[in-house]
Structure 1
Amino acid sequence: MASSAAKTVLIVYAHQSAGSFNAAAKDATVDVLEKQGCKVLVSDLYAMAFEATATEKDITGSVKNPEHFCYGEETMLAWQEGQLASDIVEEHKKLQEAELVVFQFPMYWFSVPAIMKGWMDRVLTLGFAYTPEKRYSQGIFRDKKAMLSFTTGSHESMFSPNGINGDMNVTLWPIQNGVLYYCGFQVLAPQIFWAPKHLSSEGREKLLESWRTRLPGLLSETPLAFPTADSFDAGKGYQLKPDIKKLQAESPFGLTVGHHMEKPLPPHNQMKAGV
């Protein structure tokens, strides 16, 4: 198993309680990876009272266009001029250092908690984390890895293709493709802790033990598969190129959950690598 020695890992953590299962999962991550020789940074968003709303307050200098404030453009200029709020700057430093980012959270309304969404809105600054020219496989963070590690309130069967909540692969697509891969991250398969509140203490410990077993080899895992940016024709509205469509023509499935080509969704596309 490949060593994680001398690597830096950032955990972006969102839970209000130190006694929660999410806290236990976060602590396990810190413990195992530090023993592997990693430097582990933790952004405990609730403990930090991290500001979730993206506003003009994120700019310490003057706003360029106060009559029509555009957050993305204004924060990009502020980043270039060294005039971003200090809490954003601190998170930028952590991101620059990290080779892996683990987002640890309870799933709220099929997504991340508001405070974590605020971290994404504010910290993944235009220019720093992405540009129209540097995104997806050509993204700024293409040499870094990222993953989601989260708890659900519902059982796994409820997030199946025939379950009442729908396919978890579809639920994960906006976050894993639209946030992480968009910024260039190599996205590792998620660690999903299915409904721990409905389990016995022994059952919860088994979930944690499975995570502890996975952690030592995490940095050497194969990322999830996404099409490269050059698979799309910019001159034709960023549509899949004909040769890519031709290669996929014989497959019974679409290319990804999002690029399904009006075919059945590829199974486990957002949950397992190499399938």
Structure 2
Amino acid sequence: MPLHLVTVPCLADNYAFLVHDAASGRTALIDAPESGPVLAALDAHQWRLTDILITHHHSDHIDGVDTLRARTQARVWGAAADAHRLPRLDETLAEGSRFHIGATEVRVVEVPGHTIGHVAYLMPGHAFTADSLMSGGCGRLFEGTAAQMHASLQKLAALPPETLICSGHEYTASNLRFAQTLEPGNPHLISRIAEVAAKRAQGIATVPVPLRVELDTNPYLRAHLPALKTAVGLPDADAVTVFAEIRARKDRF
């Protein structure tokens, strides 16, 4: 059965995600920036939170965990490698770990770059990527290297193109403004910028987004293309070098 997915806006520009399995009654939360909006969404749907899945240790992804655990007795899942700086974990995970939320299989992929211990959660038709692959962009390299982040994004880029990328922030508009400095004539990018502007004018979230859209418009997934290499003045460089230059330019943007 298809996932019942709810996008929960939190803080100024974060997103959390609720995934509900109707047959079992289990409901998983991916990241917990704060507790209030999550509890409100659970109440609105009359769901009981059973599982909290953490992607990485940054406070704007975990600050609501302890309150939600106390209120719901949900089990908390996260990367074993980051257990020392996450809220107390009931279940530790690593690359290739698999478990179920009701009938829904969850697969864990390690995606270092933004942080060393960052993980993504793959469910049928969905990838919960937080601050690794983001809508129109990727997370800053606070702990990892360009090579690590590029490898992480390549794992995600290999998913089926209709996979919905559920990332952790409403950064799409600014990410696409930067992307347009590299590919001003990309028709997919021009169209996407207009669609995003219309959504934001109505207060509509721009995530999730199909991976195929990211492949057409996200410069970090396009660093191997001759047009992007030329755009950053590195026509003969490898994709990791081009990726690093794109990320450095975005940091200064």
TM-score by length of 1: 0.29
Higher share in strand: 2
Structure showing greater relative contact order (alpha-carbon pairs closer than 8 Å, 6 or more residues apart): 1
The higher radius of gyration belongs to 1
Report the TM-score, using the length of structure 2 for normalisation: 0.30
